[in-house]
Amino acid sequence: MRANGVPNFPDPLPGGGFTFNPSPGATSSPAFKAAQAKCQKYLPRVGVLSPGAPPSAQTLAQLRQIAQCMRQHGVPQFPDPRSTPPPQSSVNSGAYSVITNYKGAILLFPATIDRQSPAYEQAAAACGAGFLDGQHPH
C-alpha cells in the first residue's frame, strides 16, 4: 500500500490486524482505491482471519474480562471476543478500524473507537489491554 501511494499505511500488529485511522475521505480517494486494487491479493480475507484452532476457554475468559474492564473505564464500544470471524461484507464495510486475531479469538474494533485517545490509553493501562495494541502483556 505504501509503495502504491498510501504513505501512512501501517504495519500489521503482532497479534494480527491493523490500526489504521485514515482521515475522513482518505479511503475513497483515487490513490487509495488504486493502491487497494493493486494490493488486493495481499489484503486479509475472512479465511485469513479464521483461527486455525478455536480460542481456548482461558483466552476467551481473559479477553472478556478485559472487554468488561475497558467498558467500565470509559470505552463503551470495546468489543467482546468472538470465536468466528465476521462475514466478508462487514469486513469490507468500513465499520471496523481493526480486526485482530489474538490466539484464535477475533476482536472487531469499531471504527468509532479512537485507540490513540488518552481515554482509551488510560483504560488500556488500567485493564492490561496494551498487548492488544502491540505492547507486551503485563
The contacts of residue 99 (CB under 8 Å, 6+ apart) are: 16, 17, 44, 49, 85, 86, 91, 106, 107, 108, 109
- Read off the pLDDT of residues 5-50 as tens digits, 9 standing for 90 and up: 888 777 776 655 555 666 656 666 788 778 777 776 665 544 444 4
- Express as a percent the part of the chain with pLDDT over 90: 20
* C-alpha cell at position 13: 500488529
- Mean pLDDT value of segment 62-75: 94
CB of 14 closer than 8 Å to CB of 134: yes
Determine if the pTM surpasses 0.75: no
